[in-house]
């Protein structure tokens, strides 16, 4: 007598705790998954912060020492030897403000650009939303930026007391300026991460390109010192409105262009959307080429 085994109720009602499936949209940020893995995001952020000063003698003091040493060199080389103008602002404040903002953007950019290469061993062992690693870089660098900016405010307080610099209403744009740098650094970094995965030479080219971008941004000079015939060309740089607005708000010098800020916002969002599409596409197969 033949019998047919029907599937048991247990098999039919079986439910999985987690289904790992390829997402449909390349523009998806999977924010729901990021929230579920928020503890992992916190651990990555903590790892990035701690590893910065681990096994160092001075420890977290390097967060203060690094910008102070850089500012001192800029004052000596660009302020005293080269004699570059700072629009009448104290040289220490002018350079320290530019360094704080530039360090945040450049760190987000360069470290995100090599995120696949730097975390290849981790990606090959366990599943988690890959977008978490670039986000952790942006958040950990935000912590460093906050420390350096507090240092800037402490030094600026002395000049506020002396009446040499003044706060302007545009200081209220500060959260927007930080968001622009974060989104732009994250977007450009994710865009280059697709290329550094396959072409390792891009990592060296990236370092050179970031240095050139610094000199094309008003970090060591004000926008007013750019020759008029070159200003339309430099205006394509979305970082210029950010630096100018920051110095205008906190130091009372420079200029604020509403159109320039709007351009920086739209440029940052556009780059981020394009980089998200490429990042989601590359992450599916990057383990084959890394």
* 202-245 pLDDT, tens digit each: 767 788 888 888 888 889 888 888 888 888 888 899 999 999 99
Q: How far apart are CA 37 and CA 42, in angstroms?
A: 9
Q: How far apart are CA 155 and CA 149, in angstroms?
A: 10
Q: How far apart are CA 147 and CA 96, in angstroms?
A: 12
Rounded to two decimals, the pTM is 0.82
Between 14-23, 33-42, 94-103, 200-209, the lowest mean confidence (pLDDT) is in: 14-23
Let me know: does 136 contact 41? Beta carbons within 8 Å: yes
What burial letters (b/e) apply to 219-244, b meaning 16+ CB within 10 Å?
Answer: bbbbbeebeeeeeeeebebbbbbbbb
Phi, psi values for residue 13, rounded to 5°? -90, 5
Residue count of the chain: 290
């Amino acid at each position: 007598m033949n019998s047919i085994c029907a599937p048991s109720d247990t098999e039919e009602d079986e439910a999985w705790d987690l289904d790992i499936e390829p997402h449909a949209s390349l523009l998806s940020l999977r924010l729901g998954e990021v929230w579920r893995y928020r503890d992992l995001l916190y651990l990555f952020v903590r790892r990035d912060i701690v590893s910065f000063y681990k096994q160092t003698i001075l420890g977290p003091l390097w967060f203060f020492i690094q910008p102070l040493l850089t500012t001192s060199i800029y004052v000596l080389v660009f302020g005293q030897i080269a004699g570059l103008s700072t629009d009448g602002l104290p040289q220490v404040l002018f350079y320290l403000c530019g360094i704080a903002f530039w360090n945040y953007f450049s760190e987000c950019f360069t470290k995100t650009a090599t995120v696949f290469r730097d975390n290849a061993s981790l990606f090959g062992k366990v599943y988690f939303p890959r977008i978490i690693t670039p986000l952790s870089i942006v958040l950990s660098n935000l912590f460093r930026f906050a420390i350096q900016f507090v240092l800037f405010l402490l030094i600026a307080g002395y000049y506020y007391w002396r009446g040499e610099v003044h706060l302007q209403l545009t200081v209220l744009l500060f959260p927007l300026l930080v968001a622009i740098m974060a989104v732009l650094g994250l977007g450009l970094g994710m865009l280059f991460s697709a290329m550094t995965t396959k072409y390792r030479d891009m990592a060296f080219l990236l370092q050179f390109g970031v240095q050139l971008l610094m000199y094309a941004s008003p970090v060591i000079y004000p926008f007013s010192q750019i020759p008029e015939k070159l200003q339309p060309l430099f205006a394509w740089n979305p970082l210029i409105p950010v630096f100018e607005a920051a110095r205008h708000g906190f130091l009372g010098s420079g200029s604020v262009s509403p159109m320039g800020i709007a351009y920086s916002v739209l440029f940052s969002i556009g780059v981020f959307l394009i980089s998200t599409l490429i990042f989601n596409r590359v992450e599916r197969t990057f383990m084959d080429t890394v």
